[in-house]
Amino acid sequence: MEITLSVLKADIGSIGGHIQPSTALTEKVREIIQHKGRKQLIDSRVSWTGDDIAILMTHQQGVGATAIHEMAWEAFLAGTEVARSEGLYGAGQDLLADAFSGNVRGMGPGVAEMTFQERDAEPFVLFAADKTDPGAFNLPLYRAFADPMNTPGLLLSPALTEGFRFVIMDVAHTGKDRVIELEAPEDLYRIAALLRDPERYVVESIWSRHSGQQAVAASTSRLHNIAGKYTGKDDPVMLVRVQKDFPATGEILAPFSTGHFVAGGMRGSHNMPLMPVPLNAGTSYFDGPPIVTGAAFCVHEGKLTDPVDVFAHPFWDRVRDQVADKAMDMRRQGFFGAAMLPMDELEYTGITTTLDGLDERFRIRPDGPEPLRQAL
């Protein structure tokens, strides 16, 4: 049976700052999806990661379907009403358009979707991150789909040895999408040359070259491209099909033990390590650290199993300790150097006002010795 998996995610308000949504808000979103989805959807799950709500849906209307996106938009609007009534922080933060038009791309919410013919067994993982941006998935995807040091399946499974096609988007480009298709392993160094710049080049999808099947769909929206100013972080989601012609579940989880530095901590302006956390975890230290959750499912005829919380296993406690140490190490240097994002990312924040104000106070020093300053 051909089905579509759609995950749409938005921050529509949270308790105590940018920490986590309220139960009433989450329940409202769930209620609307269950009620309105009765005709449109086969199944759905609503979860949260930090202050972001993710709606996972299975259906047969394909990618970018207006009815599916509109339903999610309406659920986010209803959740925003609850957020307002409870005085939650940042109510409706990611709903950047006044009215729904066609589909939610470019309207604020993150979207990852794919349509495929269900395999007899169809395992997949939904990853959702908070306090970071879509480039956060570049490193784990490169490792899992292109690096045999991480993924022994690239050596041990002939289907994987044929490699994967990476579709990479230039997220700095405004207007129509600017994308490139590159093949691993032949284009490995070209893929690396792009993915090393995660604020600009982001993996949009990955495809098996053996079967032509899609393995990965990831969200690519950068909110500052939509709003033109700082409106919170992009907080990406992605769907990864696993096993058989794709990496094993453990091969896609392994790279998250790195706790790699990602953009987006505190006010969307800092590099901080990405911490894998259990489902429905909030944020804390320094409005973070940036977190990622993973929910593993199987789907059959569109019906989802219960999720398995992949980062709840005791193994990840030790990773979390190491990531916490990394986070505190980075914070020791405050705003200096690599701790804070470069100016081209900060230009969407208020710092430009301060710098503009200083601009007119700069002067060009005349040639010759500087006269001694008068004592005040």
Point out which residues bind ligand 13P (CB under 6 A).
Answer: 11, 18, 50-51, 90, 93, 130-131, 232-233, 235, 248, 250, 266-268, 287
Neighbours of 342 (CB within 10 A): 11
Quick one: 194 or 242, whose CB is closer to ligand 13P?
Answer: 242
Residue 9's SS3 state is strand
Question: How would DSSP label each residue in 294-344?
Answer: EEEEEEETTEE---EETT-STHHHHHHHHHHHHHHHHHTTTTSGGGBPPHH
Residue 230 annotated in active site: yes
Residue 266 binds which of ligand 13P, Mg ion, none (CB < 5-8 A, kind-dependent): ligand 13P
Residue closer to ligand 13P, measured from CB, 166 or 230: 230
- Choose from Mg ion, ligand 13P, none: what does 187 bind? Cβ within 5-8 Å by kind: none
Which is closer to Mg ion, CB of 123 or CB of 288? 288
**Residue 197 designated active-site:** no
Q: What is the rounded CA–CA span in Å between residue 74 and residue 107?
A: 13
The answer to whether residues 146 and 193 touch, using CB atoms and an 8 Å cutoff, is no
Q: Which residue from 59, 222, 233, 260 is in contact with Mg ion, where contact means CB under 5 A? A: 233
Nearer to ligand 13P (CB atom), residue 141 or residue 266: 266
Instruction: Choose the contact partner of 268 out of Mg ion, ligand 13P, none; CB within 5 to 8 A by kind.
Output: ligand 13P
By CB under 5 A, the count of residues binding Mg ion is 10
Asked whether 262 and 135 are in contact (CB, 8 A), the reply is yes
Contact assessment for residue 83 and residue 28, using Cβ atoms and an 8 Å cutoff: no
The reply to whether 235 sits near Mg ion by the rule CB under 5 A is yes
- Which one of ligand 13P, Mg ion, none is in contact with 165 (Cβ closer than 5 to 8 A by kind)? none
Q: Residue 232 in 3-state DSSP? A: coil
Q: Is 243 annotated as a binding residue?
A: yes
> b/e map of 97-117 (b: 16 or more CB within 10 Å)?
eeebeebbbebbbbbbbbbbe
Task: Note whether 199 binds Mg ion by CB under 5 A.
Answer: no
Active site annotation includes 11? yes
- 363-372 exposure pattern, b = at least 16 Cβ within 10 A, e = fewer: eeeeeeeeee
Asked if 124 contacts 297 with a C-beta cutoff of 8 angstroms, the reply is yes
Nearer to Mg ion, 10 or 139 (CB): 10
Rounded CA-CA distance 54/311 in Å is 17
From the annotation, which residues make up the binding site for Mg(2+)? 11, 18, 51-52, 93, 130, 233-235
From the annotation, which residues make up the binding site? 11, 18, 51-52, 89, 93, 102-103, 130-131, 233-235, 243-244, 267, 287, 348
Binding site for Mg ion (CB under 5 A): 11, 18, 50-52, 90, 130, 232-233, 235
Catalytic residues: 11, 230, 233
